[in-house]
Amino acid sequence: MNKSKNVMESKPILSLLLTMSVPPIISMLIQSMYNIVDSIFVAQIGEKALTAVSLIFPLQNMVSAVAIGFGVGLNSCIAINLGAKNNEKINRAVSNGIILTLIHGIIFILVGMFLTKPFLRMFTNDPEIFKWGYEYGVIVMCCSIGILYQLVLEKMYQAIGSMIIPMVLQIVGCIINIVLDPIFIFGGFGIPSMGVVGAAIATVIGQMSAFIIYVIIFRKNNHGIIVSFKGFKFDKEIVKSLYSVGLPSSIMMALPSVLVSVLNGILVTLSQSAVAFLGIYFKLQTFVYMPANGLLQGMRPIIGYNYGAKEKERMLKTIKTSIAVVIMIMILGSCISIFFPSYILKMFNAESELMALGIPALKIISTGFIFSAIPIVFSGVFEGIGDGMRSLTITLLRQLIIIIPAAMILAKVFGINGVWISFPLSEFVAMIISIVLMKVKLRTIEV
């Protein structure tokens, strides 16, 4: 912990940011492959199977939202207290975080058991889609404890500057998933063909394996963090601190679930293939946004530490450098999506109708990537300094307040293309407002 602390204070910003960010970027890309691999294999079963898994995506994203959001709260708390040199509070924060994550897991078991069917009924009457969606959804929801702990522990390690372990364990979990997917879906090595159920089981096993390895590693080297449950009581101040950042962050992560559900409701009246494309897009866009979010994972501890240490100049340098890197990522993502959309869609065994709809849709949506760079970075900065509400405001603008009304209105004017146009429009407006919010906040930060 001392080594990480000294690095946060003294290492050149660009070098520090890359050192802290490259492992999370790789980790986030690997994480996105959990859903991507499932979809590629499930697409071989048929478009209905792919639609079923796409409909469950919002529930899966909700689990990840809680885990990552709460983990960000823990990450921020640890980083700020590292800068303030308060190790005792770090220990209490981790202990409280472990218990609260268990409670989150129990809640999601109940959600999987009792809410999966009502959720699916809102979007489909097709018996095959409903059956496959229910089977997949119940398994991933009721066995979500693995991904919950995996992502929370990932954020804990990142907060103390340990970036390699989370990256390696993401790779391990993904490899397990990739190996098991074709075996469990299509059968092999004495295991019967299980279809969509097999895809869900493979994903869960990959997640649980990574979590178990985390526990083993932490027991061998706790990096100076002491976890104790003897006479455990919730620390109200810490719980409030964790959720003041974690809850807004979880809401931000859950917003794509709300967005996908609302857009599915709009698109299902226009084209069933549009629903399938939207599911594909929200998996594909992770390859653009996951590197950016991975960079933010490296940025947050740097911002939080220097905020706690009252090093405003290093904060500003970190922000500027992060914006430059994220803009480059977004430009690359836009170019690939605009110039090679057919190759991308063919990975999902897209049929002629889906190709005809998806190619122009992908080109339109991707024009908004570059506008999203500044709001994404500023949202991460606010999380790093413990200002969850401003961070939430930016994300609400991007993924709810602007895009949903715009999609509803533009769909009536331009049809399906109106829905796609709402994506870059919302990113542009959010960019302008986020710049204003950041300028106001920076004036209040003391040196």
Task: Tell me the pLDDT tens digit for each residue of 406-417.
Answer: 999 999 999 899
* Number of domains the chain is built from: 1
Q: How many CB atoms lie within 10 A of CB 220?
A: 7
Does 235 reside within a domain? Answer: yes
Task: Tell me the pLDDT tens digit for each residue of 337-388.
Answer: 999 988 888 887 777 888 999 899 999 999 999 999 999 999 999 988 888 8
Task: Tell me the pLDDT tens digit for each residue of 130-161.
Answer: 999 999 999 999 999 999 999 889 888 888 87
Does 447 reside within a domain? Answer: no
Task: Tell me the pLDDT tens digit for each residue of 205-263.
Answer: 999 999 999 999 988 887 777 777 877 888 888 898 888 888 877 787 777 778 888 89
CB burial of residue 319 (10 Å; 0-12, 13-18, 19+): buried
Q: What is the C-alpha separation between 372 and 136, in angstroms, rounded? A: 32
Distances (CA, A) of 68 to 55, 150, 273, 337: 21, 9, 31, 27
3 — pLDDT class (breaks 50, 70, 90) = very low
Tokens of 231: 């006479």
Going by the DSSP 8-state scheme, the letter that residue 11 receives in this structure is S
The pLDDT of residue 35 is 61
Looking at every residue in the chain, the average pLDDT score rounds to: 87
The pLDDT of residue 182 is 92
Q: What is the C-alpha separation between 289 and 377, in angstroms, rounded? A: 11
List the domain range (segments joined by +) for residue 339.
Answer: 2-442
Distances (CA, A) of 117 to 39, 145, 442: 21, 21, 47
- Taking a C-beta distance cutoff of 8 angstroms, is the pair 302, 16 a contact? yes
Residue 299 pairs with which residues in a beta bridge?
Answer: none
